[in-house]
Structure formats: C-alpha cells, structure tokens
C-alpha cells in the first residue's frame, strides 16, 4: 500500500497537464477493423493514432475501461483518413474522438525481449509481465544501402545435413522455405533455432520467430518445445495469431525485422523466421480491399511485391564500420498443390537469395526433410560455407540429381548394367544418410564427419537399406570415440591432412566392427 | 453521379448568397425530373445531412465544468484559437474547460488530468 501511495505522490509531483492544442478527429464510420475518420488533416502515413474511449464518458465510466485503442493510418484522403484498428475494433464507435500521437508506429526493443513472447506492438503476451524494453524504434524503415553492407561470408548452420551440405545459408542471407502444407517447413525453421544452441554464446545468433496467422495452440507448442530444449534463452517469439486483427498479421513481420535490426545494429547476429508470408499477404489483401484500394492479380493490391521486398531487404550483413552485425531472414511460403508459379511464391522467390523447396511426394515417401534437391538453391551461401563442409559436400547435389533421374528410368528398365546399379545404390545410400528426424539438428562437425564417410565410400560395404541404421551407429561412435577429430574440425573449421588421416583410421575401425 | 450532384449542392451551400443556393437546388431538381432520375433525391438529401452533421461536429465549441467558469473559459479558449460565443456546461469534466474547433482540441479539464495520471500510474 505504502509503495502505491508513494508512486501516486511522485506522479502528482511531476504531473504537468497537457495545456497545448492537439489535433484530433472524429470517427465517421467503422467496420471490419477499419475506421474512417474526419479531421486529422496534418496526419502522415503510418502514423499512430489513439481512439480515446474516455472523451465523452464520465470519469467513473471512463476508469472502468480506460485502455486506449491504437490505430494505424493507412490511407490519407481528400476529406479524411482511414485507419486500421490495432485492438478490439468493436469498442470503436461512430463519433469517437481520435487523437494524433505524432509518431510513426513503433515498438519497444531491447535485450529484455529475449525469452519473451510478444505481439506486433511489443506487448508481452506470455503472462510474465511487462518486457521492460524501453527503446522505441519504428517498425517500418528503409533498409541499409550498398555502402553499409558487406558480403555474406559467415555460415549459419541449420544442423540439417541436407541443407548445410547442399543449400548452405550465410549470415545476412534471405533463404526462402517453400512447400505445401504439412511438408515440414516450420520444422526446418525450428530445428535451425534449436541448432544455434551448439554455437558458442559469443557467435550465437539471437533468433526471432514470427508466427503469422497461426493457430495459438501451434505457437504454444513451439514455445514449449523451445523452452524445453533451452532455446528460449536466445529466442524471441512475435505472434499475431489467426484470431488477431488483419492489421496485426500484416505488421508482425515488420515488428520481427525491427527487433532483429536492434541486435544487428549492436554488432550481433540475428535470425528472423517469418512463418508465413502467404498468410501475411492474405491479411494485407484483406486490409487493402477494406481500404478500397484497387485489387490486382488474385485480388492482391498493386504494392504486394513492395510489401515483401521492403521487408526482406532489411536482412543484411553490415560492414565493419557499421559494427559487422547481421540479420538473416528465413521467410516461409505455403504453396497450393506444389504450384510455385502462383503470384506470391514467384514474387518471394525472386526477392530472396535462394529457396529450399519441400515436396509433398518426398514427404509421403518418408524422406525427412523432404527437400527437392533439383530446384532448391542457395545463391550466396556457398561463399559462407566452411572449408570442411565444402570439401566433403562437393558433388553431392549433382550425384543426387543424377540418381533421381536414374530412379525414374529404373521404373521402366528391367535389366540394368553394373555401373547404373552402382550409381543407384550410391544414390540410395546418400539419400538415407541425408535423412534426419525432426528436432534433432546436428552440430556442424558431426555433419561434416558423416558426409565425409558417405562420400568416401565407408557405407559401401553395407546394403542401401541398412544405411540409416549404420549412420545412427556412426553418430554414436563418433561422439564416443572421435572427440579429438570432431574437436579439430570444430576448431579449425576444415579437415586438415592430419585430421583426415586420423579420421580414416577411425572409420576403418568402425566399418570393421559394424560388418 | 450522386456524389457529383451532392458536391454541386455543397459548393452552392458554401456561398454566402442564399439565392444562388436556391437556384442551384431548383435547377438540379428540374434536371433530375427531366432525366427521369428523381429516385436519386433521397440519397442526395441523406448525403447532405451527413455533410451537415460533420460540419456541425467541426464548429467551435467550448465546454465548462461549472457555469460560473464560462466567461473565463471563453476568454482562455479564444486565446487558444477557439472562438465560440457560448459555453456548454458539462459536469463530467469535474473542473476546468475544454474546447474544439475543426480538428484542434484543447483539453484543460480536471477529468483529462485525472485520467492521464491514472494511465501513467497504472501503465
């Protein structure tokens, strides 16, 4: 009680009433989360406004529900403005007073956000009280220019063998994860977050998972998994669930980018996952149609490409002069029946630096992750790949693509020559080696060691169908008996001649024992 | 088309000369009848009512908590750029006054001050 009285007394001492004139407007019409407002003639685009429920009520009534409702100005028109209501739109009524706040839509950022679940306005939604973040940053801002950037040169390991070997991702890159529903897109993103646990705390990126239009139960499950595996220590979750207003779902990725930029500007590495941008595009389409903007292809507004390009351009690797931080973006797009030529998928494919394409057919065949190696690509990641991974993964992609062709041919041919059979068996073995269960990302040195064994024929003495079991045994063997070799790969980031010699001896021992 | 007719009448109403406005209305009605579009008249009237209500909402208005404060409040409001002839008594303000003209609001009421304190303390 004493502390409350002191707090109020302190507030009264420092209180200065707002004596100046302020610009206000009146709600002319409202519906579907959009308010048409008269007045606010000097307001600017993307400015925040406040719908004030206390203006025409008695003090007693006003204090029963004093929470202001924020709005975002999206249309400036000849005779008024239109705003998206960022909150309970049912509380906005005709004739309601609207105040200008004189600032662009901003969110509080800071290190105290780590481990928290927030909404796109930066408000905590995990029941753990206020986040304590105080630095306000606008959620929309221009991306860094050419001069401020440096080439992508540091790897971001996902812990997924197939990706780190064939479609490597660099820090500061934008790599799209695309596929039909239920093909493992979110799993790749979550495994990538989990794998950062194996990084040293100095180089470990801060991860931001942005859930857009997801079921709350799915987000809760993801947060629980991250917490259980200790990944919330370096992760922030921004959530705009399916039940939230369209404006929240449209803003959530920008909020995630703003939070990521805070860490990037502090010289740290950050990773932001937008799960998914298809739902954001749908939310933006809804807002645009309600704002009476003209519809274009698939009823999306004309600036839908700009919406995604300005968001993804914010991913960057900064120059040394700018602190050398980075923001890596992993946007997710959901396709319908594997159609990558639809409007939003083609847009985002053209904006990003590569894509990981997941196939429903592969998924149904039991391939995890269900990556289609043929059309998955990383345009800048190879320059960020470690020497060790480059050395071991050289021809995997080509060999697997050849195997897929031969596999199709095999269905028609009854009699195959020895050379073709050998290639098919090698492809099968490699496919088995690259299989990986959900939630089990591997440290990079272990990935390199396993792929080294596969590409150097150490699995050849086993039948292709035994490969998975042998690979699991090899993992256990390496962890148990090859600590020195793994340590050397981790430390030097390459497989030196000496390490290779030692490792080959160990592999021969392993093959001998496993036969 | 209806918007255009409404806009024409709105411009006519803005002119100080009532005869001009009267002529505009008469001519518009004659034109609509000859074109067989009298059905538009109720919608035009409804639209004009909305515009009039919007204008009323933007007129200068001063509210005071107590009738005794009217004179002082009107003077203060005039200094702040709100030129109203009379003040309306609104006891919910608790003390002080508030005034609006166009989209400018000056709120020097006790209610606003108390709500601001409440928000600052509870946030």
Chain segment A317-370, per-residue pLDDT in tens: 999 999 999 999 999 999 999 999 999 999 999 999 999 999 999 999 889 999
A41: its two tokens: 């003639």
Give how far B107 is from chain A: nearest CA, Å: 7
Q: For residues A299 and A296, give the distance between their C-alpha atoms in angstroms, rounded to a whole number.
A: 5
Residue B121 has pLDDT above 90, yes or no: no
Give how far B25 is from chain A: nearest CA, Å: 23
A21 CB near a chain B CB, below 8 Å? yes
Mean pLDDT of A179-197: 96
Average pLDDT of chain A to the nearest whole number? 92
Using an 8 Å CB-CB cutoff, list chain A residues near B103.
23-25, 38-41
Task: Please state the separation of Cα A305 from the chain's center in Å.
Answer: 19
Residue A235 has pLDDT above 60, yes or no: yes
User: Does the beta-carbon distance from A11 to B117 stay under 8 Å?
Assistant: yes
Name the pLDDT band for A244 (thresholds 50, 70, 90): very high
User: What does DSSP say about strands A80-86 and A69-77: parallel, antiparallel, or unpaired?
Assistant: antiparallel
Residue B15 has pLDDT above 80, yes or no: no
Q: For residues A186 and A192, give the distance between their C-alpha atoms in angstroms, rounded to a whole number.
A: 10
Q: Length of chain B in residues, anyone?
A: 123
pLDDT of A80: 86
3-state secondary structure of A354: strand
pLDDT of B89: 94
- Which are the contacts of A172, defined by CB distance < 8 A and separation ≥ 6? A149, A150, A152, A154, A315, A316, A317, A318, A326, A327, A328
Query: Interhelix angle for A304-312 vs A343-351, to 10°?
Result: 30
Q: Please tell me which of the candidates B54, B108, B117 has its beta carbon nearest to residue A38.
A: B54
Give how far B45 is from chain A: nearest CA, Å: 18
pLDDT of B118: 85
pLDDT of A183: 96
Residue A32 has pLDDT above 80, yes or no: yes
Using an 8 Å CB-CB cutoff, list chain A residues near B92.
57-59
User: Does the beta-carbon distance from A59 to B111 stay under 8 Å?
Assistant: yes
Count CB neighbours of A245 within 10 A: 22
pLDDT of B115: 87
Residue A263 has pLDDT above 60, yes or no: yes
The secondary element (H helix, E strand) that includes residue A47 is: strand A47-52
- Which tens digit of pLDDT belongs to each residue from A282-304? 999 999 999 999 999 999 999 99
Chain B CA closest to residue A57: B92
Q: What is the DSSP string of A82-129?
A: EEEEES-GGG--TT-EEEEEEEESEEEESGGGTT-EE-TTS-B-SSS-
Q: For residues A336 and A352, give the distance between their C-alpha atoms in angstroms, rounded to a whole number.
A: 20
Q: Which of B73, B102, B105 to mutate to test the interface with A (most CBs of A within 10 A)?
A: B105
Residue B113 has pLDDT above 80, yes or no: yes
Q: Length of chain A in residues, anyone?
A: 515
Chain B CA closest to residue A3: B121
Name the pLDDT band for A423 (thresholds 50, 70, 90): confident
pLDDT of A430: 92
pLDDT of A12: 62
Lowest pLDDT segment from A87-101, A266-280, B19-33: B19-33
B32: its two tokens: 């609509």
pLDDT of B48: 83
- Which tens digit of pLDDT belongs to each residue from A377-402? 999 888 889 999 988 887 788 888 88
Task: Print burial letters for B7-23: b (CB count within 10 Å at least 16), e (below 16).
Answer: eebeebbeeeeeeebee
Mean pLDDT of B42-46: 86
The neighbouring-strand residues paired with A72 are A48, A84
């Amino acid at each position: 009680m004493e502390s409350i009285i002191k707090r109020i007394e302190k507030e009264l001492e420092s209180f200065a009433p707002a004596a100046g004139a302020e610009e206000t407007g009146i709600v002319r019409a409202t519906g579907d989360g959009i308010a048409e407002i008269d007045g606010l003639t000097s307001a600017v685009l993307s400015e925040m406004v406040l719908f004030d429920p206390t203006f025409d009520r008695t003090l007693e009534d006003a204090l029963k529900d004093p929470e202001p409702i924020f709005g975002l100005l999206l249309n400036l028109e000849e005779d008024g403005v239109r705003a998206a209501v960022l909150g309970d739109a049912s509380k906005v009524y005709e004739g309601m007073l609207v105040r200008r706040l004189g600032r662009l839509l901003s969110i509080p950022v800071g290190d105290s956000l780590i481990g928290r679940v927030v909404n796109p306005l930066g408000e905590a939604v995990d029941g753990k009280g206020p986040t304590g973040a105080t630095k306000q940053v606008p959620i929309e801002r221009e991306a860094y220019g050419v001069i401020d950037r440096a080439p992508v040169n540091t790897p971001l390991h996902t812990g997924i063998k197939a990706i780190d070997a064939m479609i490597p991702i660099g820090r500061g890159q934008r790599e799209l994860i695309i596929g039909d529903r239920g093909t493992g897109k979110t799993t790749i993103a979550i495994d990538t977050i989990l794998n950062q646990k194996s990084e040293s705390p100095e180089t470990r990126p801060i991860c931001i998972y942005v859930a857009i239009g997801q079921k709350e139960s799915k987000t809760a499950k993801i947060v629980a998994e991250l917490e259980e595996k200790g990944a919330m220590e370096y992760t922030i979750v921004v959530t705009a669930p399916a039940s939230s207003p369209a404006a929240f779902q449209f803003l959530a990725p920008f909020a995630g980018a703003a939070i990521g930029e805070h860490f990037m500007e502090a010289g740290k590495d950050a990773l932001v996952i937008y799960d998914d941008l298809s739902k954001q595009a749908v939310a933006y389409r809804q807002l645009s149609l309600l704002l009476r903007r003209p519809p274009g292809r698939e009823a999306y507004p004309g600036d839908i490409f700009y919406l995604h390009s300005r968001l993804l351009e914010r991913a960057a690797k900064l120059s040394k002069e700018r602190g050398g931080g980075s923001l890596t973006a992993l946007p997710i797009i959901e396709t319908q029946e594997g159609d990558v030529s639809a409007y939003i998928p083609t847009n985002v494919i053209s904006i990003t630096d590569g894509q990981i394409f997941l196939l429903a057919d592969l998924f149904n065949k039991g391939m995890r992750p269900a990556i289609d190696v043929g059309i998955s690509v990383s345009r800048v990641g190879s320059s960020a790949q470690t020497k060790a991974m480059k050395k071991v993964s050289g021809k995997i992609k080509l060999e697997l693509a050849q195997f897929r062709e031969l596999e199709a041919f095999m269905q028609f041919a009854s009699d195959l020559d020895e050379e073709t059979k050998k290639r098919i068996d090698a492809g099968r073995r490699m496919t088995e080696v690259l299989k990986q269960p959900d939630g089990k990302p591997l440290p990079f040195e272990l990935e390199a060691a396993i792929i080294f064994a596969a590409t150097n024929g150490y699995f050849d003495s086993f039948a292709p169908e035994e490969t998975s079991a042998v690979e699991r045994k090899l993992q256990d063997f390496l962890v148990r008996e090859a600590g020195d070799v793994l340590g050397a790969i981790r430390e030097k980031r390459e497989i030196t001649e000496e390490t290779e010699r030692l490792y080959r001896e160990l592999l021969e021992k392993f093959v001998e024992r496993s036969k | 088309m209806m918007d255009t007719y409404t806009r024409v009448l709105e411009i006519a109403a803005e002119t100080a000369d009532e005869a001009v406005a009267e002529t505009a209305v008469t001519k518009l009605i004659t034109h609509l009848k000859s074109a067989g579009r009298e059905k538009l008249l109720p919608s035009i009237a409804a639209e004009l009512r909305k515009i009039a209500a919007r204008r009323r909402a933007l007129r200068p208005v001063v509210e005071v908590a107590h009738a005794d404060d009217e004179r002082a409040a009107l003077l203060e409001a005039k200094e702040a750029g709100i030129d109203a002839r009379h003040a309306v008594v609104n006891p919910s303000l608790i003390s002080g006054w508030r005034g609006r003209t166009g989209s400018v609001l000056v709120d020097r009421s006790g209610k606003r001050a108390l709500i601001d304190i409440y928000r600052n303390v509870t946030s």
